[in-house]
Amino acid sequence: MRFVDEFREPELITRTAEEIRRLADTKRHYRFMEVCGGHTHSIYRFGLKDLLPSNIELVHGPGCPVCVLPMGRIDDGLSIAEQPGVIFTAFGDMMRVPGTRGTPLEYKARGMDVRIVYSPSDALKLARNNPDRHVLFFAIGFETTAPSTALTMMRAKAEGLKNFSVFCNHVTIIPAIRAILDSPDMRIDAFIGPGHVSTVIGCRPYGWIASNEEKPIVVAGFEPLDILQSIVMLLRQLNQNQKKVENQYKRAVPWEGNRAALKAMAEVFELRPYFEWRGLGFISQSALRIRAAYAEFDAEHRFSVPGVRVTDPKAAQCGEVLKGVLKPAQCKLFGKECTPEHPIGALMVSSEGSCAAYYNYEHRKTQALTHLSRMPVSTPDVTAGVTAV
C-alpha cells in the first residue's frame, strides 16, 4: 500500500521554506494571523516560526472557543452542576478552566457529578441510561462542533427525552474575524483561514475579507506543509496585489461547505443578538442560542443561571493575547502566576490556547536553553587518549 508521507519529506518542507524566503519582500514586515487555535498549536508544535524569515510575523487569533468564554459563563454552567440530580458533562478541555469558585474538576472534587464526554452523543446516552438524573451538556465550539450538538438535540427531541439539556456557548467565527479587523490596535496583512470550521461553512463566508477588507485569506490544513504552503499562497497574492479567498485544504474542505451540517444548525439554533467574548467585548450576532422549538433542551430555559459578568483578574492580559495585541510571553503573569499547573485563564489550559501552546513548546525550550547556557563549560582534555606515535 503506497501512501504519501509528506511530513517526513524534509526536502519538501525545506523547498517550501526556501520559496517563502524567495517570495518575502525584505523591505516589508508581514503580519499574518492564524485564526484557529488548532493552527496556533501546530505552529508551535512543529516549530514553524524557525522556518520563516524574521520579517514574517504570525499573530495568534481568537479561534479558541474555550478561551473566549468569559468567566461568568463558566460560573453559569457550574451553577447548574450544583443543582440536585444533575450530571454535568463537558469536553475534557473544559475541565480545568477556572470559574470564580473553581474549575469543573474542583467542583467534582467537592462532590458534584462532573464527567468528561468526548461527544455530545455520549451526554445523550448518559441521559437515556439515567432517567432519574438530569444530564447537562456544556456545549462549546465554533461551527465545527455546533452541527454535532444540533444533531444530538434533534435526536433527543425525536426520542422524547425529558432529562437532557444543553448549555449553549457555541460561537461563530466570522464576527470574531470582523472584530479583529475593526480593532484600531491591529494591523493584519492576511489571514491563514480556519481548517475544520471551513469543512462546515465552506469558503464563501470569507469573501468579504478579500473584497471589502482587501486582505488575502487562505484556508489551511494543519500539517507543517499545509501551513507553509498557505504562507506561500498568501505571499504570492500580496506580491501580485491580489485579494482572494483560496482553499489550500481542498482534501477536507468543500468550497460550498457541508449542507447537512448547516441545515442541522439552522434547525436547532439561531443567532443571539449579542454575546460577550473575552478580549473582544460584546459582539453582535456572534453566538448561537437554542430556538424556541427546542426550549425543553435549553438549559437556560430549564434552569436559572446567575448571569453575572465577571471580569478577568486585573493583572491577567487574556483579552490582549486573544486579540493578538500581545504575545503570550508578554503577559505579566505568563510563566509566573499563570502556568498550566495553576492557570489564571483558559488560554493557559485549553489545547487550542496560545499561552498553553507557547508554554509547552517554546517556553520550556527557552528555559532549557537558558539553563544550559549558564552551565560551566568544561574544556575537554585533548591529550587524553592520544598515544604517542
Partner 1 sequence: MCLAIPGRVVELLPEDRSLAVVDVLGVRRKVDLGLLQEDPPLAGDWVLIHVGFAMSKIGEADALAQLRMLTELGESDAAIEEVQGYGLGEEEAEETAAESKAGP
* Binding window for partner 1 (CB under 8 A); candidates: 113-121, 238-246, 330-338, 372-380: 113-121
Smallest CA-to-CA distance from 297 within 60, 124, 98 is with 124
C-alpha 145/C-alpha 211 separation (Å) is 28
Tell me, what amino acid is at 197? V
Binds partner 1 (CB under 8 A): choice among 61, 141, 216, 328 = 141
Q: Which of residues 201-260 bind partner 1 (CB under 8 A)?
A: 222-223, 251-254, 258-260
Contact status: 351 vs partner 1 (CB under 8 A)? yes
Q: Count CB atoms within 10 A of the CB of residue 229.
A: 21
Return the range that interacts with partner 1 (CB under 8 A); candidates 121-129, 294-302, 308-316, 327-335.
121-129
77 binds partner 1 (CB under 8 A): no
Q: Please pick, from the candidates 43, 90, 117, 288, the single residue that binds partner 1 as defined by CB under 8 A.
A: 117
Q: How far apart are CA 174 and CA 154, in angstroms?
A: 25
Residue 354 in the binding site for partner 1 (CB under 8 A): no
Amino acid at 166: V
Q: Is 176 in the site for partner 1 (CB under 8 A)?
A: no
Indicate the residue among 120 and 345 with the shorter CB distance to partner 1: 120
Least separation, in Å, of the C-beta of 242 and partner 1?
A: 27
What is the C-alpha separation between 171 and 352, in angstroms, rounded?
15
Task: Give the nearer residue to partner 1 in terms of CB position, either 175 or 189.
Answer: 175
Interface with partner 1 (CB under 8 A), residue from 24, 59, 66, 69: 66
Q: Is 50 in the site for partner 1 (CB under 8 A)?
A: no
For 280-286, the CB contacts below 8 A with 24+ separation are 280/62, 280/68, 280/176, 280/179, 280/180, 280/183, 280/319, 280/322, 280/323, 281/179, 283/175, 283/176, 283/178, 283/179, 284/175, 285/172, 285/175, 286/171, 286/172, 286/175, 286/176, 286/179
- All 3 cell numbers of residue 302? 430549564
Site size toward partner 1 (CB under 8 A) is: 62
3-state secondary structure of 365: helix
C-alpha grid cell, residue 190: 492576511
Name which position in 169, 237, 350, 354 contacts partner 1 (CB under 8 A).
350
Task: Supply the DSSP string of 164-210, one letter for each residue.
Answer: EEEEEEEB-HHHHHHHHHH-TT----EEEE-SHHHHHH-SGGGHHHH
Q: Candidates 20-28, 119-127, 271-279, 282-290 — which segment interacts with partner 1 by CB under 8 A?
A: 119-127
* Interacting residue with partner 1 among 16, 121, 183, 360 (CB under 8 A): 121
Of 33, 51, 126, 217, the residue at the interface with partner 1 (CB under 8 A) is 126
- In this structure, the strands spanning 274-277 and 281-284 are antiparallel
- Compute the chain's Rg from CA coordinates: 23
Contact map string, positions 287 to 326, toward partner 1, x by CB under 8 A: ----------------------------------------
Q: Does 11 bind partner 1 (CB under 8 A)?
A: no
55 binds partner 1 (CB under 8 A): no
Q: Are 194 and 143 in contact (CB under 8 A)?
A: no
Helix ranges (DSSP H) in 24-96: 37-45, 71-81
**Interaction between residue 106 and partner 1 (CB under 8 A):** no
Task: Give residues in contact with partner 1 (CB under 8 A).
Answer: 1-8, 36-39, 41, 45, 63, 65-66, 87, 91, 93, 111-113, 116-122, 125-126, 129-130, 132-133, 141, 144-145, 147-148, 151, 194-197, 199-200, 222-223, 251-254, 258-261, 264, 350-352
